[in-house]
Structure 1
Amino acid sequence: MTVALVTGVVGGIGAAIARRLAADGFRVAVCDRPGADFDKAAAALGMPAYAADLGRRAEVERLAAAIANAEGAPEVLVNCAGGVCGQVHRPVDEVPEEDWRAVFAANTDSAFFLAQALAPAMRARRRGRIVTISSGAGLRPSLTGIQAYTAAKHALVGLTKQLALELGPHGVTVNSVAPGFVLSNEATRRQWESYGEAGQRALVERIHLRRLGRPEDIANAVAFLVGADAAWITGQVLSVDGGHA
């Protein structure tokens, strides 16, 4: 059975991806930062769970070794860890260095360190799938207004394309899913509520399908990219946003 690692399952998108891949027959291991929220999410999913701070290379290396020993080396990696790290918009001159670095660690460093740890086994087998969860904020300015978030997601898109170039000759595809506005966790619900009724209406009217996204919409796209039908697709960014005007 093919082993898949899905990170960032405390939020609704990561959990939906994990459930979809399990339903598709993968043996799914999940990971997030240690804490009560992850314990609760892991219990609800009922999958092998590994706690780690993915923004630290040493912890990622320990994680990779633990999963390989217990489950087998993953052939599928879905990088869903990330987010705004509890931050809100502030003027650029008011953003502390540590807040800037925290967002990059969660969204970009984590994907790079995981690729470093897991790609060698994929390369040796000459098969593998890596999917990063970027964002519409990786393609245009972010609705959050958080400078570090849009910069980190743009960097994640660039990393995805570079890894696709490097790993493609070894049978490994690397793609990204860029979600639009998905009500998936408390942070996105707070952001949605902050727009007010008029702002919410304006946001939905900019979406061709006139609705917000669901975690399952993103999970469906990931399932396609890690499946056999996407074997000749790599280096791509798939916007799953209902159409964006």
Structure 2
Amino acid sequence: MDIQFEGKRVLVTGAARGIGRAICEAFAADGAAVLATDVNLAELELLQQYTIAKRGGSIVTARLDVTDEDSIARLVEKQGADFDIFVHVAGGVLGQKRQPVENVPAADWDSIYDVNVRGAFMVARAVVPAMKASGAGKMVFISSGAGLGVSLTGIQAYASAKAALISLARQLAHELGPFGINVNAVAPGFLRTSPDYERQWASYGEEGQQAMLEQIPLRRIGLPDDISNAVLFLASPFANWITGQTLSVSGGPVS
């Protein structure tokens, strides 16, 4: 299966590190013109500097705060909105930690929803008109295993937001399917892709880490490339008859 994206424009949010970075690198290596966006400009510069684009691919970086309508409007005004593919990676737990539900400030809940769900909605809203005009488009939202079950983080807003992202993908798939637009989600298992998740991994200790691995059929935690491979498949012509689905990429069902 030779997946190629020559002549395709791809917008990726949350692109500076981890899963987002791997997705940008993979698209560029397969010929796409990638617009990599994040609020972390320093790491975006490293992404652009070290990515090896092939088949005519390229990476351009831009600051984008997905929670800010003005930021999205400025991006569209400068870069255009005619993207063939949109991948929403921006999200995560935003440095928050587990605490009893009665102690969770409403602002903490809102901040996680703003990036994970509201951001996906607002950027999708911005790119849909051009996709409708072209009669084709692909969207992939990065959810989480937490959206399919119970979050290991224990953070209520994170689990709920990732489930909401799956529902949003399914709803948009029904709405946009008649226009030739596919919308799907990917639900990664645990990856050590940010300082938040490194702290979570360290908190388990050696015995807890081994216990986690023994629950995963493939006996390892995920790598960013595992997720980028799934995203590129869903964004490719090989997935033209797949929409409204959530692909779990987690090393197998946890026992």
Normalised to the residue count of structure 2, the TM-score between the two structures is 0.91
Tell me the percent identity. Answer: 47
Match of 1:88 in 2: 97
Q: Deviations over 1:56-75 (max 9, x none)?
A: 2222122122221xxx6111
Match of 2:248 in 1: 239
> Does 2:79 match 1:67?
yes
Among 89, 106, 123, the alignment partner of 1:114 is 123
Within 1, Cα distance between the matches of 2:179 and 2:146? 30
Shift of 1:203: 0.9
Among 169, 172, 184, the alignment partner of 1:163 is 172
Among 219, 224, 227, the alignment partner of 1:218 is 227
Partner SS state of residue 189, structure 1: helix
Tell me if the contact between 1:218 and 1:240 (Cα under 8 Å) persists in the aligned partners.
yes
Shift of 1:9: 1.4
Among 155, 161, 165, the alignment partner of 1:146 is 155
Shift of 1:42: 4.2
Letter of the structure 1 residue corresponding to residue 31 of structure 2: G
Partner SS state of residue 209, structure 1: coil
Structure 1 pair 28–35 and aligned structure 2 pair: CA distance change class (3 A): closer
Match of 2:8 in 1: 2
Q: Deviations over 1:5-55 (max 9, x none)?
A: 111112211000001111111111100015434444444447211102101
Within 2, Cα distance between the matches of 1:198 and 1:79? 34
> Does 2:185 match 1:173?
no
Gaps in structure 1 of 5+ consecutive residues? none
Q: Deviations over 1:138-168 (max 9, x none)?
A: 1111000011101110110110000000000
> Does 2:57 match 1:51?
no
Among 29, 42, 56, the alignment partner of 1:36 is 42
Q: Kindly report the root-mean-square deviation, in angstroms, between the aligned alpha carbons of the 2 structures.
A: 1.4
Letter of the structure 1 residue corresponding to residue 39 of structure 2: R
Tell me if the contact between 1:138 and 1:150 (Cα under 8 Å) persists in the aligned partners.
yes
Superposed structure 1 runs of 4+ greater than 3 Å apart = 34-46
How many residue pairs match? The answer is 242
Tell me if the contact between 1:11 and 1:184 (Cα under 8 Å) persists in the aligned partners.
yes
Gaps in structure 2 of 5+ consecutive residues? 1-6, 52-57
Partner SS state of residue 48, structure 1: strand
Match of 2:22 in 1: 16
Letter of the structure 2 residue corresponding to residue 13 of structure 1: I
